[in-house]
Structure 1
């Protein structure tokens, strides 16, 4: 198995739209983590995706806007909400790189219930707030349901200069064209596409977090190795497909 090349644009254009949405005001925080610790947390048929032998855990805060089905318009009110997720990096037997969500905090209960029931995504109903003061953004969350109730996080970042050429690590962490999840008794892959990320450097001003630990991962002991910001992109999700065959740890 050879993982696909990391590309700034999708290698698999979505032919039939399942969902449309827009992600805005994203903050990406990442820490290195031992692939051996991550492997048991991934769906069957996937392994940790690595760069130079290291994989990463991401804490991503943003606002979801205009969620709509097929190519239709966004659902009023329910289709727009703040979100913070904890994610890992995966690759399947077909070489498709993706993300695996360990938790997704969202402030709208109905989208949480729908995502849990349809794709078994670990959405959590939470109190959320995203505020902006000039170039400083603060993302705040406190979990309501399900447990562990009270898992929480608050991160504040200052937006810096635009990136003209992302590093290999920055590309590896952000250029993800699908997700893997265990649903309907099997592992499935849900592809997405969007324009290349408009990325900015960012400075982490403060962080208080228990979401990573609540997701079954060691709580990071030090600062993140990568802090990025993006004003956002429109996103399209395509059809669900199933990874085929067994998979072995990729070489990187």
Structure 2
């Protein structure tokens, strides 16, 4: 990523952090898995108000796994039973009135209390899932299973030791500072702030992938782009109703 673009990202996040945030989290052992897909394949599954954000004519599906720690609301300590959980989300990339961000098809978590809070009023598509995360030497394994939707992911990966130099594509895929969700016919935006990602390449194998069962294409047969980041501290902001 060029110096000018990095400065813009840092300035944008600096001003975002000045806003009154709602919640803070630490994201540990973040794994990004990305596949390119046909725009026609997913267009009908996102709200009509949102435009697909394409990279060289392709839409992208992203799986993002991480371990949440130190989850707490502003001005409050971590609450017992809510401060830590595992999460696997599935997203694509969109724009609204020129602003780029993400749209989530699902957010799976292994904490039923978090799922219940996040799905209040059907605000976000959180789902209860059984998620296991293990580390053996330098290799990590993830097994997530959402029984209600019969969707699962089983993968092992190993981060490449040295940091990855930012490229236009991996920056485009990972530097996303807002998400949109639609509930009761209204479109909301949730802003997120954190420092730019410091990524590492990751090598591994996807043994099982029945996520995004609504997509009928064969993108899962391709090897995904895989990136890893050890730790990111983030802040989430109150929802904004879009006009």
Match of 1:247 in 2: none
**1:87–1:101 CA contact under 8 A, matched in 2:** yes
CA distance in 1, matches of 2:209, 2:107: 14
Deviation track 1:129-179 (CA, whole Å, cap 9, x = no partner) reads 1111122111111114xx32x321111111103334211110011000010
Match of 2:180 in 1: 180
Match of 1:107 in 2: 110
Match of 1:88 in 2: 92
**2:209–2:220 CA contact under 8 A, matched in 1:** no
Identify which of 16, 27, 30 aligns with 1:26.
30
Q: 1:187 to 1:217 in 2, by over 3 A?
A: farther
Q: 1:130 to 1:219 in 2, by over 3 A?
A: farther
Match of 2:162 in 1: 162
Matched pairs, number:
235
Give the alignment's Cα RMSD to 1 decimal.
2.1
Query: TM-score, with normalisation over the residues of structure 2?
Result: 0.88
Where does 1:144-223 land on structure 2 (aligned, <5 Å)?
A: 144=147, 147-148=148-149, 150-213=150-213, 216=215, 218=217, 220-223=219-222
Deviation at 1:78, TM superposition (A): 2.0
Match of 2:227 in 1: 228
Identify which of 67, 71, 74 aligns with 2:71.
67
Q: 1:216 to 1:103 in 2, by over 3 A?
A: farther
Deviation at 1:21, TM superposition (A): 0.7
Deviation at 1:225, TM superposition (A): 4.1
Deviating beyond 6 angstroms after TM superposition, the runs of 4 or more aligned structure 1 residues are none
Identify which of 118, 121, 125 aligns with 2:124.
121
Match of 2:239 in 1: 240
Match of 1:142 in 2: 145
Query: Is residue 35 of structure 2 the alignment partner of residue 36 of structure 1?
Result: no
CA distance in 1, matches of 2:22, 2:108: 22
Report the more deviating stretch, 185-194 or 67-76: 67-76
SS of equivalent to 1:142: strand
SS of equivalent to 1:195: coil
Structure 1 unaligned regions, length at least 5: 245-252
**1:19–1:71 CA contact under 8 A, matched in 2:** no
SS of equivalent to 1:207: strand
Report the more deviating stretch, 78-87 or 215-224: 215-224
Query: TM-score, with normalisation over the residues of structure 1?
Result: 0.86
Deviation at 1:99, TM superposition (A): 1.0
CA distance in 2, matches of 1:157, 1:90: 28
CA distance in 2, matches of 1:168, 1:75: 39
Identify which of 114, 122, 133 aligns with 1:130.
133
- Whose RCO is larger (CA < 8 A, sep 6+)? 1
CA distance in 2, matches of 1:167, 1:29: 16
